[in-house]
Structure formats: structure tokens, C-alpha cells
Amino acid sequence: MGKWPTHVTIKEVGPRDGLQNEKTQIATEDKIAWINKLSKTGLTYIEITSFVHPKWIPQLSDALEVATRIERVPGVTYAALVPNQKGLEKALTAQVDEVAVFMSASETHNRKNINKSIEETFPVLEEVVRAAKQEGKTVRGYVSTVFGCPYEGSVSVEQVIRVSERLFDMGIDELSLGDTIGVATPKQVQELLEIVLKRFPKEKLAMHFHDTRGTALANILISLEMGITTFDSSLGGLGGCPYAPGASGNVATDDLVYMLHGMGIATGIDVQRLMEAALFIQEKIGRPLSSRYLQTIST
């Protein structure tokens, strides 16, 4: 049993990964108000939107307005997902702090998600990373379907390494490894990280778990033991992936904070303010969210 870290960084992806799959159209004003609430919780990183074509994700068609109208709090990094050069231009106009590029470890999911093969995706992302770096932005790379693909089933560790290496070669600052469809188990996470951590420094890695089958916190626990201290999560357990059938929400930020604080691991997050933000977005979505901690205070 490894020694637990004293501090963990939580990256809130709810406004982007959480909302992108919601059927209920959330008003721009409500998104802005929600992000403003999140900014006051002690979170140091919020992924606020995605500059993809509105046709693909209509929920985030107000990306520029959201990004320019939120109240920015010093010490909080405001990031956005960027698919290509056109998206980057908008993200730079919106003055986001960090640009996130994304691709899949599996060929079919990459084609469904990006409309390109993995090989065709590399030059597009390389251009985005280079241009973002020239503008002084930090860049995050997401790899989806690391632990399994809804179309191809299992994904080889070699394939994950190959894609990750190319992204690091482009100059990304951090890599987020995603269990897009929530199939991973702790043993699988341990086996993958044993190999990945021989190649890349743990300080540059984050884990992104979905709780589709209820294994997300267990997977985070094993990742903590392996030395990972950065995790993506979504308040209330919002979200999924529009291009991954059957994928339910991200691990819930509130459940994760409850577990970490109970273990004596600091996050810098104020639980009361976090729950105020959770209750706010739950009301706007108009249905109970899936996080266990939120359910205990909503009843």
C-alpha cells in the first residue's frame, strides 16, 4: 500500500463534458451563473466549454459568449476543448487560459468522434498545439477509450502509449487518460499505469474516469496508490460522451471530494459552496443528478 498524497488537484469538467450530453438545453445565463459559482468553490481548474462546431454539440454552441462573460477568479485556470485551428482562433478570442486537444486510442471511436483516422488526426492537433503554445497557452491532451472502446472492445496498452507519445512530442503539458465508457477496473488501471509511468512522469498525467459501472472511485483509489494526483470530475456526476453509446456520467466531483477529505487528502475545495453549485445546476437540468453525496443532501 503506497502512502497517500497530502494534496490532490481536481479538474472540474462539468460545464463541458457534463453538459455536452444533456438533452435539456441549458440557458447561456445559467451556464455563466453556474461557472461563476464553481469559481468560488476553491476549484483551481474549470473546463468551461468546447469550441467544436455547433452542429456536433448544439448544447455548447454558446461557447464564445460563455467564455467571454464569466467572472474570472485569479488563481483559477479556465480551459476549453479545441478540435482544430478554427476552434483555436475562437478560443484565443475568448482568452481561455488553457487549450485542450483530444483524440481516441481506438481507431473507430476516433473516426466517430473526430471524423478522421488516428494518423489523420495527429497533424491537425500538432498545428493546434504549436499555435496555442506560440500564444503562451498551456495545452492539455485528452486520450479517450484508454480502457475500452464501445465499437472495438479492448484497447491495447501499446496503442495508448503510441498516441500518448505523439501528443507529448507535440508539446502538451499534461495528458488526461480517459475511461470514456466506464469499463475500467482497478486491476486494469494498475496494469496500465505500471507501463505508462515507465514512459511519462506522473506529474504530467491525469486520470479521467466515468462511473458507468460504479468503479470510478475504486479506480481513482488505485491511481492514487500509483502516484497520480490529478483527476478530472464533473459536479453531480453530470455527463457522458455523445460518441460513446452507453457512456454515463463522469465521476462526481462531490463524491470524490468527500472521499479525499475523509482520507485526510486536501483539495482546497469548500464543500458547502460546491454543493450550492451542485444544487443550482441540478435544478436547471430538472432531474436528480447521479452523485451519491448530492442525493444525501437533496432528500
Task: Return the active site residues.
Answer: 241
Burial class (CB in 10 A: 0-12, 13-18, 19+), 66: buried
Considering just the CA atoms, what is the radius of gyration of the chain in Å? Answer: 18
Alpha-carbon span 222 to 69, nearest angstrom: 39
The closest alpha carbon to 109, from 141, 148, 156, belongs to 148
Q: Which cell is 133 given?
A: 503554445
Q: Which cell is 42 given?
A: 476553491
Q: Which cell is 39 given?
A: 469559481
CB 228, CB 206: distance < 8 Å: yes
Three-state DSSP class for residue 189:
helix
For residues 200, 202, 205, 209, the Cα torsion angle rounded to the nearest 10 degrees is: 120
**In residues, how long is the chain?**
299
